[in-house]
Structures are given as C-alpha cells and as structure tokens.
A = this chain, B = another copy of it.
Amino acid sequence: MQYPEPIAKLIDSYMKLPGIGSKTATRLAFFTIDMQDDDVTQFAKALIAAKKDLHYCSVCGNITETDPCMVCTDKTRDNSQVIVVEQPKDVMSLERMHEYHGLYHVLHGVLSPIEGKGPEDINITSLVKRLQQNEQIKEVIIATNATPEGEATAMYLSRLIKPAQIKVTRLAHGLAVGSDIEYADEMTLFKAIEGRQEI
C-alpha cells in the first residue's frame, strides 16, 4: 500500500527543504493534515507570496518588497559606511543589534574555488560600481563569515577596494561574549590573543 497521492506529494515537497529527510517530511505531512484549515491556507498563500512579492534590491542586493529597499532609501542612515555580508539574513542579524546605522551590500555567496564560485558569480560587480558612483562612501566593513571562504572573500574585496582610497575593515575575531576559554577552539584563541587590546 502506498501513501494516498495527496500526502505523497506533500511529503515530496517537504523533502525539498534543507535538512528534512523522508521521516521528518512524513511527520510534517501528517501534522499538516491535522492542522486548522485556515493555517494551511495561510501557509500556502505565504509560500506563493514570498516567491512573488520579494525581490533583490537593485542597489544593495538585500531582499525587499520595494526596489530600492527600505535601507537604501532611508535618508536618516549614514551613507558613509557599507557593511558587506554574505546573505540577506546576515543583514537582519546586524539590524537586531540596533547600533549600526549605515548601509549594506549583500554578496549572495562567497568565493569558493571548490564549488567553482568566482568573483563574477557573487554580487561584487555591483559593489564596485556602487563605490565608484557614491563618493560619500568612506568605509567598507567586511562582515563575511569567519570561514576559510569568508576570509578569502574578505581578502579579495580588500585588495579590490583599497586602491580607491576607501577604508576597508573586517569584523573582529575573538571569544564570543559569555563563552568559556575552556571550550574555545585553537583558531579562535589565536585570533583572540592576536587581537588583544589594552584595558
């Protein structure tokens, strides 16, 4: 006996999501059947709307309903600083801090020779153009992840941008706030010592 077709199709759809295998997909599908009608309808509508109503900002590459996005059009923001991140969710994480009031640029990936991703595959061209066209940008803060690919991308961008007399900085590496030295890995400890500051 096979699953009835509607549930088999739903299981297939759930399995397309990252980190969801057949067991979890089956559990989610059966859960869906027991959900409120309204919730399921809303879920289906949200899926369609997220795909249809969201675009990438033509200036910074962030996800937005309007183009340019709310950050790029906000006159109160400091347009002398641009933070470069890998993904749109990184923008949200930085915004949650409520301490940064500059602009953003989303790369949508990192340089990765292993995956065959070169400079033309991520959103670098538009960053260079943006820096050329906006002379008020004085500093580019590179906030790619602290992974080998993130580091390599940071170095590449730094070499690309510095000749234009724009300050290029990188987020500090070190111990996470609240973490134990006992559990910190060697690289983090090394970076923490290297970046030590006088108190």
Contact = CB atoms under 8 A, between A and B. Distances in A.
Interface of A: 1, 3-7, 9-10, 12-14, 16-19, 24, 26-33, 35, 37, 39-54, 63-65, 70-71, 87-89, 91-92, 95
B47 A32 contact: yes
Nearest to A1: B95
Q: Looking at A29, A51, A64, which has the most chain B CB atoms within 10 Å of its CB?
A: A51
Contacts of A12: 46
Indicate how many identical chains form the complex: 2
7 contacts: A4-B54, A4-B63, A10-B46, A17-B31, A32-B47, A33-B51, A40-B50
The DSSP consensus for interface residues of chain A is helix
A6 B49 contact: yes
Nearest to A51: B40
A31 to B, nearest CB: 5
A139 to B, nearest CB: 20
Given A1-B91, A32-B50, A44-B47, 12 more contacts: A4-B63, A7-B63, A9-B50, A10-B47, A10-B50, A13-B47, A17-B31, A18-B27, A26-B92, A33-B51, A35-B51, A40-B50
A7 B45 CA distance: 11
B53 A48 contact: no
- Please provide the 4 A-B residue pairs with the shortest distance between their CB atoms, ordered closest to farther: A13-B43, A44-B44, A1-B95, A10-B46
